[in-house]
Structure 1
Amino acid sequence: MFAAAMLQLLSGFWGGRVLVVWGVLLLLLPRLTHAQRSIDSLRQALRATPADTEQVKTALRLSTALAATDTAQARLVAAQALRQSKRLGYTYGQAHSWLQLSALHLIGHRFRPARQAAGRAGQVAAPLLRQAPGSLRVRRLLAGIANNLGSAADQQGRVAAATRYYLQAAGYLEGTPETAVLLTVYSNLGRNFQLLRQPEQATRYWRRAVAAGGSASRPELLPAYLQLAAWHLQQQHPDSALYLLQLARTLRPESSLYAGEYYGALGQYYLFQQEPERAYPALQRAATYATRKGDPAYQARLLFSLGQMEAQLGNTSKAVELLRNSLQLLQGLHDMEQEAAVLTALGRVAEANSQYQAALGYVRRSQSLRDSLAATTVRQQVNQLETQYRTRQQTQQLRQLRQQQQAQQLAFRQQRRLTTVYLLLAVVLGAAVLLALGLLRHRRRLARQQQELQQQRIRQLEQEQELRAAQAVLQGQEEERRRVARDLHDGLGGMLSTVKLYLGTLRSRHPLPAPATELLGQSVEHLDSSISELRRVARNLMPEALLALGLAQAVQDFCDALRRAGQVQLELHLHGLDTRLPPTIETGVYRIVQELLNNVVKHARASHILVQLMRHDALLHVVVEDDGQGFDPTLASSGVGLRNLQARAEQMGGQLTFESEINQGTTATLTLLLSAADAAPQSFSLTSS
């Protein structure tokens, strides 16, 4: 019973915490670990380094090293790095300093300044991505910013926004060799699904974090191991939890940012095994590490549980001391639910020691907090305590007040009777008039609603007819393109090849005069050019790769052709397109990408193009970004080409948007939510007609 009660109290320890900073603080930590520098040596290096960008990097390394033990000092050093970066005009240093401050605020549960600092980091880092879209360190920086914004949104209860930020962070890093921040993002997604009571999804992301780590010796795996261990304890699987804690132990948690969480999870395991004598020192060590790190919320929860254990063991004075310390920490955190739990525990300890007046005070304070949380059970306990301490004098005063109230009610009833007699006729007449008006209005409203419903049905039918007509037109266009491409390739292409063969045979078998030979050679060269142009036109009408190999290969071939033309530098990123999509979806997306790239090459005067096709489950995301001359979307929205592209996207159930400014480039984004049938793997024939 003792172990079960303690486990219930501790079940919220890890689940209520956010993994926010592990991957972010590791942006500089690998170099620090490799050099084996102590905090003192970093301070000496900071004083000796000239006031340049190297001094900013040294300050950020020192802030990272201090984060696990002294977050207040770490914030001062990060603020120093920010000031120096601004003086030097060092943009990357500014963004990194803001990100470091955001992570440190999250450790201390200061979520509003954390969100503001992450937003400033994103504003500073945005130009860096446009300048170097393929830079790994810029993508790692943007992933850390998105992760911290997601963590802050989590604490504000905006789960959907947090999930979008986490997916954005994963999109920056998936497919790259950088996994430190990616492990943190997967851990945070697992925690979100745990809070949403979807344990299967939560464990899937935690296990994905372990798989992404690749090696059990990587320190970034520590948060995922601890989360999985806590989940296995909740599922009554202590052996699996012990195995994960042993893996976590090999990562030297004492020197990490999550030393307190490790010993907290170890204490949960010992309580589950009914070993309170081993659980108590583990929880004490967890509280010590939480104090060093400057995490008052976690420290308050640990002190609360230690106080509960002391109360169970009969150590009243020690229990009261621990519970009061927990209450003092909670008063500055606005965690009313936990604060009410501590006050309730203090009230029970006082009541068990016959200190009824103190118990009443604690329970009243707890009731005030729980009233704000719509709790009714504590209010009943307070009423019971007030009944026990109510004196005879208070009872007499209450009786007198009730008698006065009864006399006033009698006078009011007499006055109401007189008023009712005079107003009865007026009320009846007024009610009849109101009833008639109400019936008339109700009939008019019903008629208007029926008319609106009919008009709405008519509009829906018209829209459906327009959509079917547009789909039929597009399907007919694609079929006609396929037929024309086949006729050109098989018919006219075959005839031209035969003519070339005849001319070659004529030149080899029948010697001709020199002028005739030269003219014949020029004719063969022009014939080769015509065959190549014919094949290019046929491929543009309907690429064979799209039919045989799918969307990814067709886009790859088209981008390779643009690269070979040498007009522009083009970078292509493909993710999640291993399985085929329905032919209509693949054809529609390919046509949109083809038209967007042709427009960039013809009109944008761009030197670099970035193309991204990413698929996450049922969400297909396509981005075409260039650094060209741009345009005003408000003025170009009436263009026929853009309207046709947007209409094609809407007919597939998607949305195509444009973001552009004059001389600032253009970003076209296609978002398509696939249906269950579209998202399922498709089977295709490898031959095309």
Structure 2
Amino acid sequence: MAAQGPSTPPDSLLRALQAASSDTARAKTALHLSAALAATDTAQALRYARQALALSQASGFGYGQAHSWLQLSALAIIRNDNVRAARYGTQAQAAAAPLYRQRPAPRLARLLAAIANNRGSVADRQGQYAAAVRSYLQAATYLAPLPEAGRTLLTVYANLGNSLLIANQPAQAARYWRLATALAPRTGPVPELLPVYLQLARLHLQQAHSDSAGQVLRAARPLLPGSQLYADQYYGTLGQYYRSVGQPTAAWQAFGQAVAYARRKGAAGYEAKLLFEQGQLAAQVGDLPAARASLERSLTITEQLGDSRQLVDNLEGLARLAEQAGQWPEALRYYRRSHELRDTLASTAVRAQVAQLETRYRTRQQAEQLRTLRQAQAAEQLVLRQQRRLNAVYLVLLLVLVAAGGLAAALLRHRQRQAARQREQEKALLTAQAVLQGQEEERRRLARDLHDGLGGMLSTVKHYLASARSRAAQPEEATALFTQSIEHLDSSIGELRRVARNLMPEALLAFGLAQALQDLCASVQQAGNLRVQLHTHGLETRLPQTLEVELYRLVQELLNNVLKHAQAQEVLVQLMRHDTELHLVVEDDGRGFDPAVASTGVGLRSVQARAHYLGGTLEVQSAPGQGTSFSLELRLPA
């Protein structure tokens, strides 16, 4: 639904668009125009975003293409078009990710964070709350290392709190909201805090704490001029507050303002919900014509959007209004439509209400002809129907009890089998852990023995031979023999030390995982024609030694696989720690492979086994000719 009442674009930006000397400059200006109009006129904002995309594609401006797809995704979210929003978000990710791999600049990190934040919003709207949380955490990972990302990270934490609240985790939601408020500057208003305040106010209203909701809304009011994008949500929440404290006139005015802002912004789905709230309020105070007008407008918008849940609410609201007005045929029609939408999931209460309304309508017609006789017959038929229903209910209850007994026995057997399998799995896991720990301990012992024992002996032999050569003059053949012996001993000592470092790197034990990975990447880069980039964050505090060793082995194995098979020119290694979340990514630009075909390979199985041992989730993305990405996510102990 297009926004109404188009807004005038800023004159300065229009002049800059006309005066721009290149397609790149015009694309940047068109994106600024789209962002300036997003809160007031989504139709014009959409036009400028598409213009920016076309100019960026024509000039090969990669950053402009990614930013244009991001802006189109944001506008689709405002217009409640989740399908397009998800598709545009995928296009933005595909355009921005290669740029970041080539040069991980802060500007590209902020762009990828905005893309992940938008994809989280789309997942929220589609009810995929676990995916939404993952996207928001990915956005936070991009933003956390940046020195001036406080306001943007505030928005991500606010959205993360919203997802956790919908997923029935209010304590976690409140924690991230507190983190968001802590990031806000202490000087001047912070418009980004407005959605956080609105969520807190709605939480208080759900818990029937009207006073607390009023305090939060009063604190949010000064932020409204700087954040018109949320004006419809502010006035909608204000209307719910006034309705909860018994001020219907003020609630009606607030809902009206919210509807106007939502219509101007093009948020058709939210406009339909606000009109439904208005209709409910008017019905509550007895203004049936106003209630009917609001609900019918909401019904028209909802039918265009195809929102079945809101459509059922509107139909039932109109049915109740028609029933109050004595318009039985119309009420019956609305109830039947809502019943068809609910299909087999329709509740028993709604079906009984439809049947009761139909009985009233028939009785009302028949009473005009043979009132007394028909009423007696209807009463007798009603008694018979009730008896038959009771008999049917008793039979159904008996069948349910029998089925429940069988289901309980099957469930008990299933739980016993599950418990036995879980014990076996735990036993196997403990065994594997013991084996791996024993292997690492054996490697440490072998490294010490090789370095301290055999290495010392070979060094002593070298010293003796060197001393013998430096004494009295030797024949030329003996001197050559001594020289070759010393050279062989030098090679043996070097090889011995290389083997010892591979078994257990000294940098890992002494300085930690970050330094050990830096040494490993440097050695891999020297060994082959391969550029290796390493980015770490949050590793100032040492991880448990066992975990550091396993992560080092995993990166070492992945890099070895790249050298052997990928034919890559560049590989990116990222290890990020955020609170108790750890994220490892190894990406290359090599020839790629089909994960379904290569799933039986020894190398891939070994990597998956290490990830499983660490208790993490490994994701492999690859295709022939498109490079390979390994992503490991795991949660650290608190």
Matched residues in 2 for 1:663 and 1:346: separation?
58
Contact 2:318 2:334 in 1 (8 A): no
C-alpha distance after superposition, 1:170-227 (max 9, x if no partner): 4443333445554444333322222222211222233333334455733323212221
Contact 2:591 2:625 in 1 (8 A): yes
Q: 1:369 to 1:242 in 2, by over 3 A?
A: same
Paired residue type of 2:240: Q
1:157-306 matched pairs, under 5 angstroms: 157-177=127-147, 178=149, 182-213=153-184, 217-238=189-210, 240-253=212-225, 255-306=227-278
Structure 1 position 391 matched with structure 2 position 365: yes
Deviation at 1:50, TM superposition (A): 4.2
Is the alpha carbon distance of 1:658 and 1:115 closer, same or farther for their aligned partners in structure 2, counting shifts above 3 Å?
closer
Residue matched to 2:44: 73
In structure 2, do the counterparts of structure 1 residues 240 and 665 end up closer, same or farther at CA, with 3 Å as the change threshold? same
Of 116, 124, 132, which residue of structure 2 is paired with 1:154?
A: 124
Deviations 1:21-80 (A, max 9, x none): xxxxxxxxxxxxxxxx96233233323334511111111111111111111221122222
Q: For residues 241 and 324 of structure 1, do their structure 2 counterparts lie closer, same or farther at Cα, with a shift above 3 Å needed?
A: same
Q: Secondary structure at the match of 1:356?
A: coil
Distance 2:369 2:464 in 1: 122
Amino acid at match of 1:391: Q
Matches for 1:349-498 after TM superposition, within 5 Å: 349=321, 352=324, 355-357=325-327, 360-362=329-331, 364-373=333-342, 374-389=346-361, 390-392=364-366, 474-492=436-454
- 2:616 is the counterpart of 1:623: no
Secondary structure, in 3 states, of the residue corresponding to 1:306? helix
When residues 597 and 346 of structure 1 are mapped into structure 2, their CA distance, relative to the original with a 3 A threshold, is: closer
**Residue 328 of structure 1 aligns with which residue?**
300
Match of 1:14 in 2: none
Q: Which AA in structure 1 matches 2:442? A: E
Q: 1:220 & 1:272 partners in 2: Cα distance?
A: 26
Deviation of 1:497 after TM superposition, in Å, equals 7.6
CA distance in 1, matches of 2:447, 2:284: 83
For the structure 1 residues 578 and 78, does the alpha-carbon distance in structure 2 shift closer, same or farther, using more than 3 Å as the test?
same
8 Å contact from structure 1 (residues 179, 213) kept in 2:
yes
Kindly indicate whether the alpha-carbon contact (under 8 Å) linking 2:451 and 2:496 is maintained by their aligned counterparts in 1: yes
Cα-to-partner distance string for 1:466-499 (whole Å, 9 max, x where unaligned): 8787666544432222012222444455667889
Gap regions ≥5 residues in structure 1 = 1-36, 407-449, 514-518, 682-689
Say which is worse superposed, 296-305 or 168-177, in terms of deviation. 168-177
CA contact (8 A) 2:86 2:119 kept: yes
**In structure 2, do the counterparts of structure 1 residues 163 and 367 end up closer, same or farther at CA, with 3 Å as the change threshold?**
farther
Contact 2:315 2:338 in 1 (8 A): no
Cα distance in 2 for residues equivalent to 1:465 and 1:366: 58
The answer (yes or no) to whether the contact 2:316–2:338 under 8 Å persists in 1 is no
The CA deviation at 1:130 is 4.0
Q: Deviations over 1:640-662 (max 9, x none)?
A: 55554444445555576655566
CA distance in 1, matches of 2:617, 2:244: 52
Q: Counterparts of 2:76 and 2:598 in 1: how far apart (Å)?
A: 44
- Once residues 375 and 467 of structure 1 are traced to their aligned partners in structure 2, the CA distance between those partners, rounded to angstroms, is 47
Indicate how the Cα distance of structure 1 residues 579 and 130 shifts in structure 2: closer, same or farther if over 3 A, else same.
Answer: closer
Partner-residue secondary structure (3-state), 1:197: coil
String of CA shifts for 1:328-384, please: whole Å, max 9, x gaps: 3333233344344444444555555xx312x65145314421453313434434444
Question: Is the alpha carbon distance of 1:227 and 1:464 closer, same or farther for their aligned partners in structure 2, counting shifts above 3 Å?
Answer: closer
Task: Give the TM-score of the pair, scaled to structure 2.
Answer: 0.74
Match of 2:502 among 521, 540, 549: 540
Do 1:286 and 1:302's aligned partners in 2 also have CA atoms closer than 8 Å?
yes
Give the superposition deviation at 1:529: 8.8
| 1:101 matched to 2:72 | yes
Q: Is the contact made by 1:367 and 1:378 (CA closer than 8 Å) also made in structure 2?
A: no
Q: Given residue 612 of structure 1, which amino acid in structure 2 is its aligned partner?
A: Q
Contact 2:158 2:180 in 1 (8 A): yes
Paired residues of 1:253 and 1:262 also in contact (CA < 8 A): no
Q: Would you say 1:558 and 2:511 are equivalent positions?
A: no
For the residue of structure 2 that corresponds to 1:331, the secondary structure is helix
Cα deviation, residue 104, structure 1: 1.2
Letter in 2 for 1:361: E
Give the alignment partner of residue 611 of structure 1, picking from 533, 551, 573: 573
> Does residue 680 of the first structure (1) align with residue 631 of the second (2)?
no
More off after superposition, 112-121 vs 486-495: 486-495
What is the CA distance between 1:564 and its match in structure 2?
A: 8.4
Q: Which has the higher contact order (CA 8 A, sep 6+)?
A: 1
Q: Which moved more, 1:232-241 or 1:468-477?
A: 468-477
Higher mean C-alpha deviation, range 39-48 or range 241-250: 241-250
Structure 2 residue corresponding to 1:144, chosen from 101, 114, 128:
114
- Please give the alpha-carbon distance, in whole angstroms, between the structure 2 residues aligned to 1:305 and 1:342: 10
Distance 1:511 1:220, change over 3 A: farther
How many angstroms apart in 2 are the aligned matches of 1:380 and 1:464? 52
Please tell me the root mean square deviation across aligned C-alpha atoms, in Å: 4.7
**Structure 2 residue aligned with 1:587, among 549, 569, 572?**
549
* Distance (whole Å) between structure 2 residues aligned to residue 140 and residue 585 of structure 1: 30
Structure 1 window deviating more from structure 2 (106-115 vs 368-377): it is 368-377
Return the offset for 1:620.
4.7
Q: TM-score, normalised by structure 1?
A: 0.69
Whole-angstrom distance in 1 between the partners of 2:249 and 2:367: 51
Whole-Å Cα distance in 2 between the matches of residues 314 and 570 of structure 1? 72
Q: 1:564 to 1:272 in 2, by over 3 A?
A: farther
**2:13 maps to amino acid:** L
SS across alignment from 1:624: strand
Name the SS for the 1:251 alignment partner: helix
CA distance in 1, matches of 2:294, 2:600: 69
Q: Look up the equivalent residue of 1:301 and give its one-letter code.
A: K
- For structure 2, the 5+ residue unaligned runs are 1-7, 382-412, 474-479
Sequence identity, in percent?
55
Q: Which residue of 1 is the match for residue 29 of structure 2?
A: 58
Q: Residues 240 and 561 (structure 1 numbering): CA distance in 2 closer, same or farther, change over 3 Å?
A: farther
CA contact (8 A) 2:151 2:183 kept: no
For 2:211 and 2:505, how far apart are their aligned partners in 1?
A: 56
Q: 1:137 to 1:378 in 2, by over 3 A?
A: same
Instruction: Give 3-state SS (helix, strand or coil) of 2:28's partner.
Output: helix
Give 1:543 shift: 2.7
Q: Which amino acid aligns with 2:297?
A: N
Look up the match of 1:48: 19
SS in 1 for 2:630: strand
Give the direction of change, closer, same or farther, for the CA distance of 1:491–1:257 in structure 2 (3 Å limit): same
Distance 1:151 1:207 in 2: 20
Relative to 1, partners in 2 of residues 1:387 and 1:586: Cα closer, same or farther, differing over 3 Å?
A: same
CA distance in 2, matches of 1:568, 1:247: 56
Counterpart-to-counterpart distance in 2, 1:254 and 1:329: 29
Cα distance in 1 for residues equivalent to 2:308 and 2:565: 60
Do the aligned partners of 1:336 and 1:370 also contact (CA within 8 Å) in 2?
A: no
**1:528 offset after TM fit, Å?**
9.0
